[in-house]
Amino acid sequence: MSGSTGLDNYFWMRLSDEQKNAEIPDEQTAKDLDYLTKENEYSKAVLKNTEGLRKTLFDEITGRIKKDDESVPYFENGYYYYNKYTAGSEYPVYFRKKGTLSAP
């Protein structure tokens, strides 16, 4: 919505690129990492009893996904766009071909 504002309760965790790339974390970065570590530990502890169910559901869902799936190409501004998954890869490869699908 234009003109609306939202409240970001986690703005205090925002880091600059310099802070993210620093070899030695500064005080703010250390504080953020400590907070996130504690949140992750808490989540793990609370969800411990669902571990087996989550693995079962994950295996069932991923077992239904084709490992070599490909999207339907679409044409826009003189180019064909599509993506393709390859067996053993977790992420798709994105393609853009000029004019024809057989283009390099």
The answer to whether residues 81 and 96 touch, using CB atoms and an 8 Å cutoff, is: yes
- The answer to whether residue 45 scores a pLDDT higher than 80 is yes
What would the mean pLDDT of 7-33 be, rounded to a whole number? 90
- Check if the beta carbon of residue 54 is closer than 8 Å to that of residue 35: no
- Please state the pTM of the whole predicted model: 0.52
Mean pLDDT is lowest, of 3-7, 41-45, 52-56, 81-85, for 3-7
Q: Which residues pair with 79 in a beta bridge?
A: 76, 98
The average confidence (pLDDT) of the chain is 91
The pLDDT of residue 103: 93
| Separation CA 41–CA 33 (nearest Å) | 12
DSSP string, 61-84: HHHTS-TT-BPPPEEETTEEEEEE
Q: Where are the domains of the chain?
A: 66-104
pLDDT category, 37, cuts 50, 70, 90?
very high
Confidence of residue 2 (pLDDT cuts 50, 70, 90): low
Non-local CB neighbours of 93 within 8 Å, separated by 6+ positions:
83, 84, 85, 86
